[in-house]
Every structure is written in C-alpha cells, then in structure tokens.
Amino acid sequence: MNSIAAIALALAVQEKGVGYDDTPQLPDQKWKVHDSQRPVPPVVTPGDAPGKAPSDAVVLFDGKDLSKWHDGKSNESKWKVEDGYFEAVKGAGTITTRDEFGDFQLHIEWRAPDPPKGTSQGRGNSGVFLGGRYELQVLDSYENRTYADGQAGSMYGQFPPLVNASRKPGEWQVYDVIFIYPRFKEGKLETPAFLTVLHNGVLLHNKQPYIGASTHRAVGKYSEHKPQGPISLQDHGDPVRFRNIWIRAIKGYDEK
C-alpha cells in the first residue's frame, strides 16, 4: 500500500471512530496504540466562568453556608458567612471538611484584609491544609517581607514558591492545586506527597514532593496514613476571607 492510500485508510477509520486493532501494545497498559476498544473519557462540563466548578466537582462552599465544614469541637463552624464569602473569626479555631478526599484538584479563592495590619507572619495569615497535614501557606505577601518558606504559596517550612504572584491586599487571590497523597508500604514511605500549585494563574510548584507533614520550626516527618483526608483552613487570628471552593477527584478515566 502506498503512503497516499495508507493515509486515506487511516482517515476513513478515524471518521468511523473505531480506532485500530492491529497496532502495538502500549507499555505498562492493557491498551494498544489508538485502541478501538479503549473507553473514551467521560464528558465534563466546564464551569460557566473561569474558576467556576465543573460538573463533576464537589462544591465545598457555595457562597451560602458552611454546612460541609466543622471545627472539630461543636461539629459546626463559627466562621462568619456573608455576601458570598466566609471569614476567619479569631479564636473560632481551624475548620475542616466533613468529607475526606483522595488525590485531588482543588480550587480556592482567598482575600487578605484591607487595609493591611501587621508585618511578616502577622499579616493576613492562614493556611490550606491538604489532607489535614500538608500546609499550603496563605499570607499577605504583597510588599511584605517574611521568611521565604513562609510566604504566600509556600509549602510551609519546606519550599518557597518559585515566584511571588501576590495581588494587593483586598484583592481576591486564586490557588489551583493538584495534590497527590504519599503512599506507604508495610509502614514505610514508598512515594512522598506531591504538590502542584498555580497562584493567580502563575506556577509556584511543579510536582514538588513534601519533606513530610507541615510543622513550625522543625523538619517535617512522615507517619503512615491512608491516601485520603480532609481539607482544613487555619485560624491564625487574621480575618482572611474565602470563597468559591471546589474539589475534584484525580484518577484515570478508565481506572477500575
């Protein structure tokens, strides 16, 4: 068969949408190249505006209430909800999702107080705890000097962000997060937790491994846990606001 005929045949097959049955096996997969039997990905409808939840997301805050969160004590949350956002209340404590999640994509928007008050870690401080253990720092880092591994977007106490992409105080900021849990085998760490983060559309971490669970003034360590957990938001005494929070499970579309 000449090259023109081969191309014509390939196009005809593609138009029928049936793929191929006589192609090589893909490494480490049960499928062949362009396999006609491979299931197609499910359809997901994107959000109706940038940053809005797609159709397969779990919405953790819909702008109305904190029914999907609790403080671990009263089984409710005392953080303030108004005008489509909620705000940390000093002394109300960290809040945590009622549900747990495996490897995930997380979207969360936050805003530091305006006018700003304090300096360094005392200015717009909070944190997003992934799986309840691994902190992605929230801080007003616009023209606010602090230690590098504690500024906004840092893997707290471990890795600074690649860049400082912070907006001015009072402006809404966006974290888009990909988080992969660590895996353990027979009580020992097999693979670490991995984090990818975009802050206001700018890459901060690219599949960066955590050293261990986040901590203050110490080196984080791993202890065995299951590959799923809650999302927690820290009460650090500052009235940081949050809105438009949603999460999606990460798994291959043809995973069994």
Q: What is the pLDDT of residues 199-256, one digit of tens each?
A: 999 999 999 999 999 999 889 999 999 999 999 999 888 999 999 999 999 986 555 4
CA dist., res. 87 & res. 90, Å (int):
10
User: Which pLDDT score, from 0 to 100, does residue 256 have?
Assistant: 43
Looking up tokens 């009072």 gives: 170
Does any domain span residue 45?
A: no
Domain check: are 109 and 206 in the same one? yes
Domain check: are 145 and 22 in the same one? no
Does any domain span residue 47?
A: no
Does any domain span residue 97?
A: yes
Domain check: are 25 and 108 in the same one? no
Range of the domain at 151: 58-249
**What CATH number does the domain containing 171 carry?**
2.60.120.560
User: Which pLDDT score, from 0 to 100, does residue 5 have?
Assistant: 57
Domain check: are 91 and 32 in the same one? no
Q: How many residues does the chain have?
A: 256
Q: Tell me what the pLDDT averaged over the chain comes to.
A: 89
Q: What phi and psi values does residue 7 have, to the nearest 5 degrees?
A: -65, -40
User: Which of 111, 127, 118, 126 minimizes the C-alpha distance to 200?
Assistant: 111
CA dist., res. 18 & res. 87, Å (int):
52
Does any domain span residue 51?
A: no
CA dist., res. 66 & res. 244, Å (int):
12
Domain check: are 143 and 17 in the same one? no
CA dist., res. 175 & res. 153, Å (int):
8
pLDDT at residue 3 tops 70: no
CA dist., res. 244 & res. 256, Å (int):
31
pLDDT per residue as tens digits for the range 135-183: 999 999 999 999 889 999 999 999 999 999 999 999 999 999 999 999 9
What total number of domains does the chain contain?
Answer: 2
Domain check: are 214 and 150 in the same one? yes
